[in-house]
Each structure stands twice: as C-alpha cells, then as structure tokens.
Amino acid sequence: MLYLSACGSSLDIGEASDITVNRFPEYSLKIEEISLKESSLMLSVRNGEIGEIGSGNERDFFLEISRGGKWHSIAADEISNTSEIHTFSGERYITVNWEKRYGNLPSGRYRVVKYFFFPTDDGSQGEGFYLADEFEI
C-alpha cells in the first residue's frame, strides 16, 4: 500500500461494495507508482504465465474508498471510452488517471479496481474477475 498527502475535497460516496477482488492468486494488479500532481497511478498487471487475460483500456477502471472497514463505491463523472480489448500476458504496465472521473481525491484509503476476463477459444469473454490494489492519500 502506498501513502501520500494531498489537499482535501469531497466525494459522492455510495453503497458498500459487494465485489470480490484478487480471487485468483496467479494474477495480480499492483500500484508501482503514484503521482498526485498527475492524478495518476502506474499499475503492473502480472499474469503468472498461466495464459492470457483480457481487459479494457487504461480508462476502464474504478476507485473505491474505505469507510467503517468496508469498501464503498465513489460516483464518477462519465467519460468517453472505446470498447477495445487488451490482452495481458506475463507482466504489463498501464497508467490510469483518476482526475477526469473523480477530481481531486481527499485524504483517505482507496483501492483501484480493474475488471479482467479469460478469453475463450472463439474470442469472446469468458469468466470475469476483478483485480485491485490499495493506496492512501
């Protein structure tokens, strides 16, 4: 978990999240670098050499905030995004920027969450799962 300090602002915090993250130990999402100036996180996606996994592009992620020992959704502004699919094998780095969706984040404990799936032989999306990592501001 990374720790940083920043100026405060307010968030529209929603219901407690019921998603399960990091349920496959062979796959991981880890925050490698955080930049408050750029409002961004550099993430590494590791795929334990088992096979390819798929996901959307660098805009396809969401943040949650910890409140009372539970993770809660944060309302995000709509952004335009393409429906492209990226494949991940081995280790790959991506940078995500939260400012356009969430603005300045106030102090708190957050997690970045990204959806992945196992591609099927016919090229469609198979079973899906979420990977996440935590950080503090």
pLDDT score at 9:
55
pTM metric for this prediction:
0.84
Write the CATH number of the domain with boundaries 2-73+83-136.
Answer: 2.60.40
Query: What does the pLDDT profile of the chain (137 residues) look like in tens digits?
Result: 443 334 445 788 989 999 999 999 999 999 998 888 888 899 999 987 677 888 877 777 899 999 999 999 998 877 665 667 778 888 889 898 888 889 889 999 999 999 999 888 887 788 899 999 999 99
Angle at 96 between CA 90 and CA 99, to 5 degrees: 170
